[in-house]
Every structure is written in structure tokens, then in C-alpha cells.
Amino acid sequence: MLRKTFRQWRKKRFQYEVVAEVAVYRERILGNFRAFRDRYQVPVAPVLKSNAYGHGLKEVAEILKSETLPFLCVDSYFEALTLRNEGLGANILILGYTPFANVAGSKLPNVAFSILSFGELEYLATNLKQPRLFHLEIDTGMHRHGIRSEKLGDAVTLIKANGNLRLVGAFSHFADAGNANSALTPEQIGKWNETAKILKSELPSAQLLHHAATAGSIYSERIDATAIRLGLGLYGISGNREEKLELSPALELRTKIASVHELEPNESVGYGATFTADKKMRIATIPLGYFEGIDLRLSGKGAVLVRGLPCPILGRVSMNITSIDVSAIPDVTIGEPVIAISGEKSAPNSVQNIAALCGTIPYEILVRIPSHLRRTVI
């Protein structure tokens, strides 16, 4: 209570007008979550790692706190600690690597750690002196982390012999679930279902079994599991072309016009003089660059929205400044709103369309929106 009061006081004491903010749509987050839950009839574990895919770790956790959740997924001990410091009490699974000192010394309630390899399991069995909650990762074909099938029996023996290894779940990852023609996906499902059968027989405390993430959710009926992990889909972007759910992107990056001026013919813009005007133009700048999430690869080919109209990016994106063509809006003024990343799928600067322009994936565009920008839930 004291911490909450102090934060409220600090927020009022240091109020100021921001030049950029990330708008996060509460109802879109909830709508996407419920769409997957209702369609697949499986408990949904939201994935909030990497600052909730750029949407804000605390903000998204707060949005979801009234929902029935098997657990929240984060990547690190730091993220779990952040949620607990915010007073958010949902069960948490740390998916990523956690140093042994943090596992052994943790005072965080209802936080489970992932066991990522047989070597880590052996070390925990030998050195852990207090009970901790764990999910065991199974390697069904991704071949990054996990216990392979030939070591599963040894893993079960170690866990059964050590009361400090309180196994409450197990999981795996699809390698190619977004590919409808993948031969690997049915192989992974088969391996996982065999593993799940063994775990339910030998380690019945492992009630939380989960293999599918967003892209693999369409296979839920074929997977022996009690939950799905929902990452990209939670934020309104499908991970699978076969997915028929209507999802709504949940984020917009907003800023303001910082300057407006005329560009004469044969004058260039920005570093490297990569754009030169062939006619008189009216251009503006926005106070965002590649530090604030405007991808450098958008130089000379991306666009932002002013009054709903696409305004092309001119020249090279700078660290904190981007120049845009506002010739189509002759009366544009300093301080006028700009949408740098749109929450509408069809917009030229939607996350999906930006990713396509940059030759990358939506994940990268989202997680590169820096955490220091203010998140506003609307």
C-alpha cells in the first residue's frame, strides 16, 4: 500500500507532456485472449516476456488480472520480480534460463522455474536445498533446450527422488507450426503425446502440460495438454496463416510533428543525402528515430499517418528524428498528432506491413519499441 501511494505521489510530482507514447488497447487484448480461449476450449497462459512484446509488462498483466489464468509466462527472474513488486499475484512461469543463485535464493511466491536441460536438472538435484516449483522442458524437435526422449526416464527418476524438485508442469516448443506443410509438426505432436502419457503416470503433480503457442494453437485438439501459451496472438497478430480467428492489433505508437519547413528542388534530407527533392516540397520531422522504434530499414520506403493520410519517410531515419513528406497536408502544424505505428491491420504502418517492408517478423518490430516510452492503456 505504501509503495502504491508513493508511486501515485511521484507520478503527480513529476508530470510532464511526452513527445511519444505507446497506446495499448485494453479491450483488444482481452478480446484476443478470449477468442483463443473460447475457440480452443483450453486454459490460456498469456506470454508477457520481453516487456509483453513491447506492450508493457505491468500494463498487460494489469489488464489480464481479472481473467482466469493457469499462469503468466515471462522470460526472466527480473520480469517475475517486477510483477511481484507491482502487487500482481498470478502464478508465474519463467521460461528462460535462471541462474542457480536466483532459484535457490528466491523469495517470490508461486513462481515456477524452467528446467532447460538434463545437466541443469542434475545440478539442481544435487545442490538445491529448499523446495522450488519447476516446469520441465521437453525437446520434441526444436533442439534448443529440453530433455530428449532417451533421457526422460533418468529425468523422472531424479525428480521422484528429490523432494525439492516440485514439478508442477512440463512443456515444449513447436519449431515450424506456422507452416501448414511441415512434416516436423506431426512428429513433435507424437513425441509430446508419448511424453505426456509418461509424465501423467510417473509424475502426476505435473498438471500443467503445454506445447502449443500462438501458431500451434490450431493443433490443440491433437495435443495432450492442459494449457496453451499465447504470445503474438494475444497482441492481435496471427502466427499461422490457417488461423481463422479475428484478431485486433493492440498497440499504436503515437507522436507529434516537431517541425515543418519547405524543401526546395535539388535539396537533400538527412544523413548521407539519400533523398533529393525534384520539386518544391513541404516536409516535417517527428521526434522519433531508430532509438524509439522507427526501424532504420524504413528509410525512404516507410510511412507514418497524419490525419489518417500516409506521409512517406524521406531519407535516412536518424537516431531520434525522422523526416516525412507532408506536401499533401499544406496546413499541417507543429504539435499535430502522428501515428508512427498503427493499430489498424490495413494501414501502411501496421506492425505486419512494417515487418514486410523491413523483411523481418512482427516480433522484432514490437519488441524493439523501447521500454522507456510511456505506455497508456486506453
Half-sphere exposure of 286 (CA within 13 A, CB side): 34
The residues, any chain, with a CB within 8 Å of residue 21's CB and separated by 6 or more, are: 253, 254, 255, 373, 374, 375, 376
Element (H, E) at 260: strand 259-263
Q: Are 140 and 193 in contact (CB under 8 A)?
A: no
Residue with cell 511466491: 109
Helices and strands (DSSP H and E) totals, the chain: 11, 19
Q: Are 222 and 249 in contact (CB under 8 A)?
A: no
- The answer to whether residue 235 is catalytic is no
Phi, psi dihedral angles at 46 (to 5 degrees): -65, 140
Distance, in Å, from the CA atom of 250 to the CA atom of 26, rounded to the nearest integer, reads: 8
Q: Which of 346, 348, 344, 341 is nearest to 365 (CA)?
A: 341
Q: Which of 35, 137, 152 is nearest to 95 (CA)?
A: 137
| Residue tagged active-site, from 235, 271, 290, 363 | 271
State the Cα angle at 210 between 225 and 219, rounded to 5°. Answer: 65
Query: Which amino acids are annotated catalytic?
Result: 271
